[in-house]
């Protein structure tokens, strides 16, 4: 039988083969065995020979098998090339951007305009940036290059509380799973086999009523009003500082506000609106304040809006110090010594500081004291702006006195 032959030609830099079989003219683009376009005459001739061998095969079943195998090989090569391209584009210095490009990323990372320190996305971005810098120093270039050892050693090197350790681990696991699911990278999640830390859990402690009274007596002016709003409403520090008169109804003695932590991430804002009754003591203070401005605490509102939260924190810590309340657990905290040669203070290798009391303790106290007084859990949860009861339970601390009082009710 006469064998079919063909001729090679080019259009631009692309090689083609034309052959005639059963009076039918066919033109195909020539590819290498890896599925890539041929780049020279030698590769073109090799590709031509492979195609014509199949065309001239007498056994049609064998011809079909060869064609099928060639197609499968080409498809596999294309898939492999796509994988390589995806990994090549997903470099560690673009870790946060790659994650943001995933359709299945966390809801808190979907509608981002300007990130603020209180935003969860702001914290997640910091995790990504800190990890990428560390991994790059370990000679990793691509996200897919990261191994279990690199991920584990990064977490261990942070020297943070078990709570923060677990937060970092949880997000990084989720971020990697999302990038794998959405085809941004390939391989295995390096964080998947790292176990959570189950050591001592350090969180802010609630304040006793005596401590709160001492705090009120240790400050005045806007600072005192700030502490009173924090305790009597349970709002977070940023929400206390930026509380507006338009959100306070003195006639009905109620505060209506959407917490800044959730305002940008919910579809139905009415579901995030918290309604907090104003106790008489706070009500009496509100009545004496100047209501001509937009904010109840104009000085603190300006500091928060200008992102000077460190100044706000220093003022708050000064009140705790004046009240004689030690904010850190005894024996913890980084220490420094003067290095005469370097002419600067150098941080010693010491235990990280464990903060026991802070402004957030007022929020703990509000929730715990409400629970002790018998306020329904559903109301506490709603006022605290928690999405589920488990979070409210985490904040609820019962004093020894309350435990004894409830025991006597039996």
The Cα–Cα gap between 179 and 173 comes to: 10
Confidence label for 2 from pLDDT (cuts 50, 70 and 90): low
Provide the pLDDT for residue 157.
86
The mean per-residue pLDDT over the stretch 204-209 comes to: 81
> In this structure, what token pair is assigned to residue 72?
């499968």
Provide the pLDDT for residue 227.
96
Q: What's the burial of 289, exposed, middle or buried (CB within 10 Å: 0-12/13-18/19+)?
A: middle
The Cα–Cα gap between 51 and 17 comes to: 9
Residue in 399, 369, 366 with CA at minimum distance from that of residue 231: 366
Confidence label for 26 from pLDDT (cuts 50, 70 and 90): confident
| 373 vs 79, residue with greater confidence | 373
Of 232-246, 308-322, 379-393, where does mean pLDDT reach its minimum?
379-393
Cβ burial 135-156 (10 Å sphere, 16+ → b, else e): beeeebebbbbbeeebbbebbe
The mean per-residue pLDDT over the stretch 35-40 comes to: 85
Provide the pLDDT for residue 274.
84
| 48 vs 315, residue with greater confidence | 315
Q: Which CATH class is domain 209-408?
A: mainly alpha
- Could you tell me which residues are beta bridge partners of residue 339? 344
The mean per-residue pLDDT over the stretch 148-174 comes to: 88
Provide the pLDDT for residue 407.
44
Question: Does the structure show a pLDDT above 70 at 84?
Answer: no
Of 106-110, 265-269, 276-280, 400-404, where does mean pLDDT reach its minimum?
400-404
| pLDDT tens digit sequence for 313-360 | 999 999 999 999 988 877 665 566 677 887 777 666 555 567 788 898
Report the chain's mean pLDDT, rounded to a whole number.
Answer: 80
| 319 vs 7, residue with greater confidence | 319
| 65 vs 110, residue with greater confidence | 110
Question: Does the structure show a pLDDT above 80 at 23?
Answer: no
| 330 vs 135, residue with greater confidence | 135
H or E stretch at 201: none
The Cα–Cα gap between 201 and 269 comes to: 33
Of 312-326, 360-374, 376-390, where does mean pLDDT reach its minimum?
376-390
| 40 vs 198, residue with greater confidence | 40
How big, in percent rounded to 5, are the helix, strand and coil portions of the chain? Answer: 50, 10, 40
The Cα–Cα gap between 244 and 268 comes to: 21
Confidence label for 243 from pLDDT (cuts 50, 70 and 90): very high
- Tell me the torsion sign for CA atoms 80, 81, 82, 85: positive
| 60 vs 343, residue with greater confidence | 343
């Amino acid at each position: 039988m006469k064998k079919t032959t063909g001729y090679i030609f080019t259009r631009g830099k692309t090689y083609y083969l034309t052959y005639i079989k059963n009076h039918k003219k066919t033109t195909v683009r020539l590819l290498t065995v890896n599925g890539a376009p041929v780049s020279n005459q030698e590769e073109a001739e090799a590709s031509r020979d492979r195609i014509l061998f199949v065309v001239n095969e007498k056994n049609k079943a064998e011809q079909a098998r060869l064609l099928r195998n060639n197609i499968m090989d080409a498809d596999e090569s294309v898939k492999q090339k796509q994988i390589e391209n995806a990994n090549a584009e997903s470099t560690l210095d673009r870790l946060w951007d790659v994650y943001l490009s995933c359709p299945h990323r966390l809801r808190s990372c979907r509608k981002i305009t300007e990130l603020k320190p209180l935003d969860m996305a702001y914290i997640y971005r910091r995790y990504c940036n800190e990890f990428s810098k560390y991994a790059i120093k370990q000679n990793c270039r691509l996200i897919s290059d990261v191994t279990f050892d690199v991920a584990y050693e990064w977490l261990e090197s942070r020297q943070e509380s078990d709570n923060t350790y677990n937060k970092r681990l949880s997000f990084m696991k989720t971020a990697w799973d999302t990038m794998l699911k959405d085809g941004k990278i390939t391989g295995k999640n390096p964080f998947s086999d790292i176990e959570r830390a189950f050591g001592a859990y350090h969180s802010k402690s609630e304040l006793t009523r005596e401590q709160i009274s001492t705090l009120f007596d240790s400050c005045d002016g806007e600072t005192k009003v700030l502490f009173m709003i924090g305790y009597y409403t349970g709002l977070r520090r940023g929400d206390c500082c930026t509380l507006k008169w338009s959100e306070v109804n003195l006639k009905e003695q109620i505060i209506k506000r959407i917490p800044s932590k959730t305002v940008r991430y919910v579809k139905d804002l009415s579901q995030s609106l918290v309604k907090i009754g104003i106790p008489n003591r706070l009500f009496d203070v509100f009545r004496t304040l100047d209501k001509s401005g937009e904010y109840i605490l104009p000085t603190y509102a300006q500091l928060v809006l200008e992102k000077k939260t460190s100044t706000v924190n220093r003022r708050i810590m000064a009140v705790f110090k004046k009240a004689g309340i030690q904010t850190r657990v005894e024996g913890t905290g980084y220490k420094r010594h003067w290095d005469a040669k370097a002419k600067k203070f150098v941080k010693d290798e010491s235990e990280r500081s464990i903060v026991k009391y802070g402004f957030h303790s007022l929020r703990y106290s509000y929730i715990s004291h409400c629970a002790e007084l018998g306020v329904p859990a559903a109301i506490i949860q709603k006022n605290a702006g928690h999405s589920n009861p488990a979070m409210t339970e985490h904040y609820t601390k019962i004093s020894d006195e309350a435990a004894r009082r409830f025991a006597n009710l039996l």
